[in-house]
Structure 1
Amino acid sequence: MRTSVEIDAYPVNAREWEAANPDAEASEEISVLFGYLSDFHTAHGFYIDGVDETTACLPPDWRERAVSRTVHSHGRMVTAVAPATNDLIVSKLHPLREKDRSFILACHQARPLDIDLIRRLFVETAPNDQAQAAATAFLDTLK
């Protein structure tokens, strides 16, 4: 679960920042400053990918289960919000790439998942028929 050297980041104030900086996109700015092979990546051994609100397909009420931490650094305050594990799994069921399968399997091995809950949360994201079939088949292997 912790093998990835990538963190996705979407600033809650992205649209306001973009309105003040019309020639820039917040996700691209994050990727340039903190992304793959950046000075940040070289210095810290991980990188941050800028994403937007369409990157992850999360259940409608995911924020109610999310974990938030506020950090004060260099005179600024940043609040990091991380979706709950079940919500991350739901988002990974949509593309269901090999790395997504590996993440879900690692989660399940660390602590058995509530498959029925994950199925319910997944349905709340209104997946297309192909994603629904693939997710169902994959979740059936976890029982």
Structure 2
Amino acid sequence: MRRSELEHAIRAATEIIKQDAVFIIGSQSILGSFSEDELPEEATMSEEVDIAPMHDDDAESLATELDAVIGELSQFHETHGFYVQGVGKDTAVLPSGWTDRLVKLSNDNTKGRTGLCLEPHDLCVAKLIAGRPKDHLFVGAVLKHGMVSAEVICDRLQTVENDNLRRDRALSWVQSSFFS
């Protein structure tokens, strides 16, 4: 995925849900901090943008609407080669203070609307807590390319609450992979 595609996703999502800003929760939030030319290939492979409305009801109706209109297998997906996965803002397990570190992506390509992207270390924490093979590949790539610090990721992992088992697994993975 390219930053221009993320900007397009922000523009489309905000128009559909009639809000000026959205959270970018998944891996492509890295494009708020780095361009695709700076990133390793493993960090831009996804054709999915996880977007959470700033304000949604308990049933996540707006997230569901994003899925229906610009989600996987939609006309938007077929036309543009990427799609939006509508999610709730609590979908990702994130470290304390993550909202204070959001990276704003707003420019002419977003029509002045804003994508609030996860800061790269916070994104890595969320990916490691999810713990899927593709998440380890993503985090490993941005660590190896010096885009994030293993020490900062470990510090932030320590602040994750309510999921000690996955937090401890994530810490162990980082420590064994990058501190040996």
Counterpart amino acid of residue 121 in structure 1: R
Structure 1 pair 71/121, CA: closer, same or farther in 2 (3 Å)?
Answer: same
> How high is the TM-score relative to the length of structure 2?
0.67
TM-score, normalised by the number of residues in structure 1: 0.83
CA-to-aligned-CA distance 1:89-119 (integer Å, 9 cap, x gap): 0111112100110110111122163222211
| Structure 1 runs (4+) greater than 6 angstroms displaced | none
Larger radius of gyration, structure 1 or 2?
A: 1
- Count of matched residue pairs: 136
Q: CA RMSD in A?
A: 2.3
Q: Distance in 2 between matches of 1:89 and 1:46?
A: 22
Unaligned 5+ runs, structure 1: none
Check the 8 A contact 2:72/2:84 in 1, yes or no: yes
Match of 2:83 among 15, 37, 47: 47
The match for 1:60 is 96
Alignment of 1:87-126 (within 5 A): 87-111=122-146, 113-126=148-161
Q: How many percent of aligned residue pairs carry the same amino acid?
A: 26
Q: Give the stretch that moved more between structures: 97-106 or 124-133.
A: 124-133
Return 5+ residue gaps in structure 2 as ranges: 1-42
Query: Looking at both structures, which has the greater relative contact order when contacts are Cα pairs under 8 Å and sequence separation is at least 6?
Result: 2
Partner of 2:50: 8
1:12-32: CA deviations, max 9, x gaps?
A: 1223xx8xxx8x711111011
Residue in structure 1 matched with residue 163 of structure 2 by the alignment: 128
Pick the aligned partner of 2:63 from 27, 32, 50. Answer: 27
